[in-house]
Chain A
Amino acid sequence: MTTDVSASPPKSKGKNFALLSNRTGAAFFVPAGLLVSVFVIIPFFWVIFVSFTNRTLLGKTALSPEFVGLANYLTLFDPASFFQRGQFGFSLILTTQFVLCSALLGQALIGLILAWLIQTVPPAVKRMVETFVIGAWILPEVVIGFAWFAFLDYDNGTLNMILTNLGLPKGDFLLQQPFWVIVIFNTWRGAAFSMMLFNSAFASIPPSYFQAADVAGASSFQKFRDIGLPLIKGHIVTDLILITMWTFNVFTPFLLTNGGLSYKTELVSIYNYRVAFQDFQFGKGAAVGVIMMLINLAFALIYLSIGKKKTPKT
């Protein structure tokens, strides 16, 4: 476009192609801008502001909240109680374990294995597996929450019915092993995303690489280790960061365990909900929200910087 319009000076290129005048453009922008500021920007700053007060919903501090500076943050990080059950540090550690087990080990690994395995099966089988796995991913949260609850129930649950019929003892999974229940649940729930991502990554590798390896007599594992993995490294990093962020913020386990038993499954998102909307401590809850946001921001920055590094090369 710079070749034949040399006559007109390139003072502001954008304007030349503008369909509307600045004023009309602004008028069209106003409704969206208003919505975004009312529902996103103002609450965002409001939460940060509230996190510096001792505002609650009930009691004296509801009507006359006071500015308490960093007190909410200091309580959250109070070393005397940080690691105690039901405190911020406890759920932070729990969430880290949850992310490691269910996102990194569970979702990513299973997704990777599934994606690799369905490369070689007949298309019909491949489509069927994809349908099932994606089904787990697209169902509404509440539906699968109830489905899993019904599945795991001690008295009338499907799983225990199967176990009894096989002559095995019944298990009280939701009460005895709530943490592993939500780990398995989240793995089941999210493996589809990783599988799809890796699937398309594998599909982008030229088939001739594998044909050459076949000629050289490589085993399936060797092909996976020496051709598949190195070529989708970038996708793996992207996947890991995305699912880490999602799993970090996930709230659905609440539907299974209510954050219990006795804080055993109280992830930070559930902790945040409890503090803000069950204990009604808005100030402290807002502080938790701000910290969660900062953690997410860190993940997002890592993700973006990796994205930037990748683009100039390709």
Chain B
Amino acid sequence: MSNRIRALALGLVSATAMAVPAFAVDLEITCRCVIGGVNSATAQWIEESVIPGFTAANPGINVTLNQFGGEDAQLTQQLALDFSTGAGPDISGFDGFLIPSFAEGGLLKSLDELIGEDYANWEGWDHISPGIRSILSYGGETYGVGLGTDVRMVFVRKDLFDKAGIDTATWNPTSWADLIDAAKKLKEAGVEAPLQLNAGVAMGEATTMQGYWMALLGTGEGVTNDDGKFIVGSQAILDTLNLYKTIYVDDGLGDQRAQLLADGRNRTFANFRDGKTAMLVEGDWFYRSVTAPGAEFEVKDRDNVMTWKKMPAQEPGKGIRGQDAVSISGGTGYVINPNTDSPKEAWQFLSFMMSQEQMTAFQGFSPGIRSRDDVAIPDNAFLTETSQALLPITTARPNNAHYNAVSQEIQRMTEAVVSGELSPEDAMAQYRSAVIAIVGEENTVSTL
């Protein structure tokens, strides 16, 4: 090697060694959001508002958004494996119910441990209620910053109800039987799959939240009992599974294929958009994002063709806490990779993203119930109505490290029934042995 080349090589090596720390810190952020696809508004917000704003104020930090287009469960799988091996994005979108299992598994560090003072002194905490903060907390520690919360309900197509001779203005279902009756009338009037209640493995947590929980809560029971033990055998589970059976197997009131295929959730959206489904149990996300003007599943003239109803209990007063109607809430937010090389910068970005300014900007992309009390809920009749009617009666999932695994078994149990493979009794037996294998028999209870 000639001297000149040697000198050049040495110079290059030292230049890069000097340049990297002096120049830029690279941050990566991942969310299940794709511009023009799922959660398009979130991706646009980050790409068009948060990142430009942040890099303008912090020229030394580069931020890249990875748009993850797969399913929720696939992102969870990837994050779990990434976080356990020291890989993965610096910041990631995250569903609150996963916090306990990740925290217990050492796959997340609390913000206190990871950031310390900067985290504790953040101005945002004065504007985020303890209830919302708890969505991304476990064991008294905070693991991320929540973006907002949601509620669940039955979305209704007015135009299809009119066709079946039911006036949605006066129709207020008070029991499962009311839903089924309406669905039958709609079916007679030519609506293909009038009632859709999520089930199956492909939809992941959406099955458990929008489907199983919404039915189960109407029987007065939860997934766990008051002592935190998982209920693996009860009349309530059987009633819930029988409701599924009625809808999908016995009476053919719902689109069974949409619950079984990999892209099933999008099919349920498309069915609602195309007037094949008249009642869809979904979260307010369905209104805010999925059917919004310009979105893939936009419902044309939706103020006139679309409305919502509370999810009734099995029978009036039979719901959880003796309620007539039920709902369940979750919440998503963002967490920091426990193995990130630059925790300070990651927090800098995350706190900027969750600042009043940026969260207000987000309302412009997709209005919603936000975690900060200094971010106004936009003048939006739907959001005001639903939050006032449903937040008082809503429920939260158990903050339990085993919940995630049990939830997957719930999805498998519903799939077995909806596909007609198993009877509700057999499906419950399958669920029972699977849950016992996960949490141990002493943490389960059977009331049958």
Can you give 6 A-B contacts (C-beta < 8 A)? A58-B101, A62-B107, A86-B434, A154-B257, A260-B260, A260-B415
- Contact residues in B for A87 (Cβ distance below 8 Å): 433
Taking the complex as formed, is B306 at the interface, i.e. its CB lies under 8 A from any CB of chain A? no
User: Complex formed: what's the CA distance from A57 to B408 in Å?
Assistant: 15
In contact, B412 and A86 (Cβ under 8 angstroms)? yes
Residue B106 contacts which of A62, A75, A262, A263 (CB distance < 8 angstroms)? A62
In contact, B77 and A278 (Cβ under 8 angstroms)? yes
User: Complex formed: what's the CA distance from A278 to B102 in Å?
Assistant: 14
- Contact residues in B for A263 (Cβ distance below 8 Å): 412
Taking the complex as formed, is A279 at the interface, i.e. its CB lies under 8 A from any CB of chain B? yes
User: For chain A residues 244-279, which have a beta carbon within 8 Å of chain B?
Assistant: 258, 260-264, 277-279
In contact, B77 and A59 (Cβ under 8 angstroms)? no
Which 4 pairs show the lowest CB-CB distances between chains A and B? A62-B105, A58-B101, A58-B105, A59-B401
Known contacts: A85-B422, A154-B257, A280-B80. The answer to whether A57 contacts B415 by CB under 8 A is no
- Contact residues in B for A262 (Cβ distance below 8 Å): 412, 415-416, 419, 421-422
- Contact residues in A for B106 (Cβ distance below 8 Å): 62-63
Which chain B residue shows the least CB distance to A85?
Answer: B430
In contact, A80 and B105 (Cβ under 8 angstroms)? no
Which chain A residue shows the least CB distance to B400?
Answer: A59
User: Complex formed: what's the CA distance from A75 to B438 in Å?
Assistant: 11
Nearest CB of chain A from residue B423's CB, rounded to whole Å: 12
Taking the complex as formed, is A66 at the interface, i.e. its CB lies under 8 A from any CB of chain B? no
In contact, B401 and A60 (Cβ under 8 angstroms)? yes
- Contact residues in B for A258 (Cβ distance below 8 Å): 201-202, 262
User: Complex formed: what's the CA distance from A260 to B408 in Å?
Assistant: 14
Residue A84 contacts which of B80, B401, B433 (CB distance < 8 angstroms)? B433
In contact, A63 and B104 (Cβ under 8 angstroms)? yes
In contact, B107 and A58 (Cβ under 8 angstroms)? yes
List A residues at the B interface (Cβ < 8 Å).
Answer: 56-60, 62-63, 75, 80-81, 84-87, 154, 172, 175, 258, 260-264, 277-280
- Contact residues in B for A62 (Cβ distance below 8 Å): 84, 104-107
Which chain B residue shows the least CB distance to A63?
Answer: B106
Number of interface residues of B (CB under 8 A): 33
- Contact residues in B for A75 (Cβ distance below 8 Å): 437
Nearest CB of chain B from residue A83's CB, rounded to whole Å: 11
Which chain A residue shows the least CB distance to B414?
Answer: A262
Nearest CB of chain B from residue A51's CB, rounded to whole Å: 15
- Contact residues in A for B201 (Cβ distance below 8 Å): 258, 260
Q: Beyond A262-B415, A278-B408, list 4 extra A-B contacts (CB 8 Å).
A: A57-B107, A58-B80, A58-B107, A86-B430
User: Complex formed: what's the CA distance from A264 to B419 in Å?
Assistant: 11
Residue B104 contacts which of A58, A85, A175 (CB distance < 8 angstroms)? A58
Taking the complex as formed, is B13 at the interface, i.e. its CB lies under 8 A from any CB of chain A? no
User: Complex formed: what's the CA distance from A154 to B267 in Å?
Assistant: 13
Taking the complex as formed, is B389 at the interface, i.e. its CB lies under 8 A from any CB of chain A? no
- Contact residues in A for B102 (Cβ distance below 8 Å): 58
- Contact residues in A for B421 (Cβ distance below 8 Å): 85, 261-262, 264
In contact, B430 and A57 (Cβ under 8 angstroms)? no
- Contact residues in A for B419 (Cβ distance below 8 Å): 175, 261-262
- Contact residues in B for A63 (Cβ distance below 8 Å): 104-106
Q: Which of A57, A58, A260 has the most CB of B within 10 A?
A: A58
User: Complex formed: what's the CA distance from A258 to B105 in Å?
Assistant: 26
Nearest CB of chain B from residue A101's CB, rounded to whole Å: 20
Which chain A residue shows the least CB distance to B412?
Answer: A86
- Contact residues in B for A85 (Cβ distance below 8 Å): 416, 421-422, 430
User: Complex formed: what's the CA distance from A57 to B402 in Å?
Assistant: 12
User: Complex formed: what's the CA distance from A259 to B426 in Å?
Assistant: 20
Nearest CB of chain A from residue B273's CB, rounded to whole Å: 16
Nearest CB of chain B from residue A171's CB, rounded to whole Å: 13
List B residues at the A interface (Cβ < 8 Å).
Answer: 73, 77, 80-81, 84, 101-102, 104-107, 201-202, 257, 260-262, 401-402, 404-405, 408, 412, 415-416, 419, 421-422, 429-430, 433-434, 437
User: Complex formed: what's the CA distance from A56 to B438 in Å?
Assistant: 11
In contact, A175 and B261 (Cβ under 8 angstroms)? yes
User: Complex formed: what's the CA distance from A81 to B434 in Å?
Assistant: 9
Nearest CB of chain B from residue A175's CB, rounded to whole Å: 6
User: Complex formed: what's the CA distance from A263 to B202 in Å?
Assistant: 13
Known contacts: A63-B106, A260-B415. The answer to whether A279 contacts B257 by CB under 8 A is no
Residue B405 contacts which of A58, A81, A86 (CB distance < 8 angstroms)? A58
Q: Which of A154, A258, A278 has the most CB of B within 10 A?
A: A278
Nearest CB of chain B from residue A124's CB, rounded to whole Å: 42
- Contact residues in A for B73 (Cβ distance below 8 Å): 278
User: Complex formed: what's the CA distance from A175 to B261 in Å?
Assistant: 8
- Contact residues in A for B107 (Cβ distance below 8 Å): 57-58, 62
User: Complex formed: what's the CA distance from A261 to B254 in Å?
Assistant: 18
User: Complex formed: what's the CA distance from A125 to B305 in Å?
Assistant: 62
Nearest CB of chain A from residue B12's CB, rounded to whole Å: 28
- Contact residues in A for B430 (Cβ distance below 8 Å): 84-86
User: Complex formed: what's the CA distance from A50 to B406 in Å?
Assistant: 23
In contact, A261 and B401 (Cβ under 8 angstroms)? no
Nearest CB of chain A from residue B324's CB, rounded to whole Å: 34
Which chain A residue shows the least CB distance to B415?
Answer: A262
User: Complex formed: what's the CA distance from A92 to B153 in Å?
Assistant: 42
In contact, A277 and B77 (Cβ under 8 angstroms)? yes
In contact, B81 and A57 (Cβ under 8 angstroms)? yes
Nearest CB of chain A from residue B321's CB, rounded to whole Å: 29
In contact, B260 and A261 (Cβ under 8 angstroms)? yes
- Contact residues in A for B202 (Cβ distance below 8 Å): 258
Q: Which of B73, B77, B405, B415 has the most CB of A within 10 A?
A: B405
Nearest CB of chain A from residue B262's CB, rounded to whole Å: 7
- Contact residues in A for B105 (Cβ distance below 8 Å): 56-60, 62-63
User: Complex formed: what's the CA distance from A279 to B435 in Å?
Assistant: 12
- Contact residues in B for A279 (Cβ distance below 8 Å): 405, 408
Residue A60 contacts which of B81, B104, B416, B429 (CB distance < 8 angstroms)? B104
Which chain A residue shows the least CB distance to B405?
Answer: A279
Q: Which of A59, A80, A172, A279 has the most CB of B within 10 A?
A: A59
Nearest CB of chain B from residue A53's CB, rounded to whole Å: 14
Which chain B residue shows the least CB distance to A154?
Answer: B257
User: Complex formed: what's the CA distance from A311 to B105 in Å?
Assistant: 54
User: Complex formed: what's the CA distance from A114 to B162 in Å?
Assistant: 62
User: Complex formed: what's the CA distance from A87 to B432 in Å?
Assistant: 13
User: Complex formed: what's the CA distance from A215 to B401 in Å?
Assistant: 79
In contact, B402 and A59 (Cβ under 8 angstroms)? yes
Which chain A residue shows the least CB distance to B98?
Answer: A58
User: Complex formed: what's the CA distance from A58 to B104 in Å?
Assistant: 7
User: Complex formed: what's the CA distance from A175 to B258 in Å?
Assistant: 11
User: Complex formed: what's the CA distance from A134 to B233 in Å?
Assistant: 52
Which chain A residue shows the least CB distance to B83?
Answer: A57
User: Complex formed: what's the CA distance from A184 to B415 in Å?
Assistant: 25
User: Complex formed: what's the CA distance from A199 to B246 in Å?
Assistant: 56
User: Complex formed: what's the CA distance from A60 to B404 in Å?
Assistant: 13
Nearest CB of chain A from residue B152's CB, rounded to whole Å: 25
User: Complex formed: what's the CA distance from A278 to B74 in Å?
Assistant: 9
